[in-house]
Structure 1
Amino acid sequence: MTRDDDLVTEQLELAADRFDFLNALDGARLDKRDLTEALPYSRSTVDRAIRDLTAAGFVLDDGDYTTSLKGGQFISLFRSTRTAAADVLELDSFVAGAAADYPLPVEAVVGADELRTDPRVSHPFDALGNRLKATNNGTFVLPYLPSQTFVDRCTTWLVDGHSCRFVAPDSVVTAIWRAYPAFLETVQTVSDCELRVGEVPPFAIAQTTLDGTPHTMVVAYDDDARASCVIENTSKRAVAWARSRVQSIWEAASPFDLNGNADGDAPETEADDADARRMTRMPRQTTRTPKRRRPIPPQLTTAVQVQRFAARRSPRRCGHRGSSDSLRRTSTASASRRRWRAGAPDSTSARSAPVTPSTASARPKTDART
């Protein structure tokens, strides 16, 4: 039966505002003077709080004050809520920046054994790879290409006869085939090991049983595909959620056949190719063919060398790129400068010298009658 929403809100607000008093009275019997000494409040504040809590049914007054069953249950709820909120705040740098529709439920976070955020996150699956020998089976959901260290340790683990399941999108499988072909071959040849291709959430899930205890690891990534949040949880709620989520992903995925895809080293489309390279985070490799020069016949070696020497000494190589007329004008100017330095008259300058009044009067006059 559902009570009135206003009443529920009022009771929650009162319990939240007076949580210190309920927490001090839970399992204890105190009078007002004891409460005043135990809590940093004045006597008037203590009187008002006890009056409100007693009227709401959270506290019993039989000479001393103690919590009722209702007050004890509210205290338990608030304590668990505060603990869950503290777990969420451990991931504040990640959850505060993620959208509300990010598919990571609170069940995966609450009660976690270890919570890490960037910059304390570095190759989280490598640490899990060190503990694979403590389990006989595991299921891994991989939204991005795993590291070389994890793949090597997982390959050794599979060769030792352990069972495992992998789920990854098609682009990641293509990236694994390019980066770690031996790993895919091991997955195909080892019994009780299977790889499926399908849609996966934006975070990785590792479900294992370490030393007999069910273990769940969740690795969330940022927009650059870098691990930014790691959650390791062994609580019953987290393990139950991981099993249900992984099973639904596994049933919706399709089996991967290495024989049917072995000849497709490259994706079928350019979009798949770009997506696969984004998953691998490797630069595109380009190969340039060096330009081949035509060999010079032995009988032409000397002539070619002469031509190259003449080309290096030509005026055009020295910055003169004009026509042959420009080159002749440059040679004439050089000759004129040499004659001027030697004191010889410059015919070019004489022809181009202007006529002044003094030079005109110095010329001999010619009789018009003669």
Structure 2
Amino acid sequence: MLKVLEHYAYLHEIPELGFQEFKTSAYISQQLKAAGYRVADNFNGTTGIVAVLDSGVPGPTLALRADMDALGHIINGEACARHTCGHDGHSSVVLTAAQELMAEKAVKKGRLKLIFQPAEELGTGALAMIAGGAVDDVDMILGFHVRPAEECAVGTAIPAVRYSACLTIEVTVRGQTAHAARPHLGINALDAAVSAVQAVNAIHLPPGKSWSAKATRFLCDAGVTNSVPDEARVIFDLRAAENEDMTLLQSRVERAVLQSVAAFGATAEIEIVKSMPAAEIDDEMTTLIAGAITEVLGEEALMSVRSTPGSEDFFHYPVQRPQVKAGFWGLGTGLVPGLHHPDMRFDLNSLPVGVKIFKACVNKVLG
């Protein structure tokens, strides 16, 4: 179990952004090959890795997925990559579980598949793996995430974490420049963009739904202070607990933006920057994970199913391939002060627990 801490110590010091995980994937690939796995590097032209252990005996194909990328931060005025979402921990846990399962000859039937995925933070890593056929032959797929301290204490685990859908929209508002002394000759893109933000803030979905829509970035600068700006860019972050609610919310936001800027004579171009679906979790997989948690930590450590407004591109797998049964669980790690915080940290002694839970799942399905 100390191997997981060795892996983490190395991966934590080489954070790499999405689709740039060259050192990370090279290290993981080397470790998997040394353990005896059949490994496909640079999967679908990315930094992704797919490794397979085939027992040679008929049975299901179970996949374990880990994300590899770090986050981009600006710290003390300098851009840098830093592991502030625990993906280095995720990769370390799945890699160690894979090594121990191989050494123990634990896979007695079916196939164990390992998916080390790039670019989760970009929302496109899972899609790239799916497009390359990574889960076309998979019956079940399991993933996990380290959890903040307020959600899940060290020594406990959540059998299913229901993530929300997330949509990032960039709106480019175009008007017409003019001298500020003669604003009637132009179309003020700044005014039109402000109106679009207010129109989005005025949207209402049924009160029983869980959702949000808000502007998170606003850029507008004509270069001088006495000119009417002809362009403004606004980023909107949309969240919804259910995929059908996100479809409705997106249509409402786009309508609000287009109609509000049109009132000023401006136009708007709408681009989807990032899209992640809401959780699609199979009950059978949740039961499997719950049994593994209980086996490793005891009944008292089994938490109830939780929902989160956060998003996770793991759920592209079951949404794009509905035949794949998906489970996604949360590991108590005492994580503070929060995910994506530049100073995020957690109890590393929780990582061996994650290894044991994944191994228990594999033993139940393929042992």
Band of TM-score, shorter chain: under 0.3
TM-score by length of 2: 0.22
Choose between structure 1 and 2: higher helix proportion.
1
TM-score by length of 1: 0.22
Higher relative contact order, structure no. (Cα contacts within 8 Å, ≥ 6 residues apart) = 2
Larger radius of gyration: 1
